Amino acid sequence: MSLATLTLTLVLAIDTGTEASAAHTAKVLMTGAEAYAISAGNGEGRYPITLDELDRPYFGGPSILKVRVESFGNPWGSPYRCCTGFDDRGEVQFYVWVERVVNGKVRRIGLPPPEKK
């Protein structure tokens, strides 16, 4: 195996692991949003409007997560995004994802909302 091939293989493995880590973080944030929605103080049962609300719920009380949302860094420097929408069955869904550009194309990692048709 040539040095170039080995280097490319290692870079791809690291990149795949980095995306998997970002996807896992998105799932953790989504789980926090689910806990937020069913929290006893949240009489409306709504999802957070921003991820920062997981640290400071509008209804008061402690942070939903054990660590602050800002500590969930993303390897590409862009913030995690979130929104509430509807899934393919018409049910309310909370979406969390992060974007990165690969070869001039935007990749969305995590659970982004469905593309509008």
pLDDT digits (tens, 9 = 90+) for 33-52: 999 999 999 998 999 999 99
As separate numbers, helices (DSSP H) first and strands (DSSP E) second, the chain gives: 1, 3
DSSP bridge pairs for 101: 106
Domain spans in the chain, listed from the N-terminal domain onward: 3-111
* pLDDT > 70? residue 65: yes
In the predicted model, is pLDDT for residue 6 greater than 90? no
Check residues 84 and 88 and name the one with the higher pLDDT: 84
For residue range 67-86, what is the model confidence (pLDDT) as tens digits? Answer: 888 887 777 888 899 999 98
- Residue among 62, 66, 67, 100 at smallest CA distance from 81: 100
Res 8 pLDDT > 60:
no
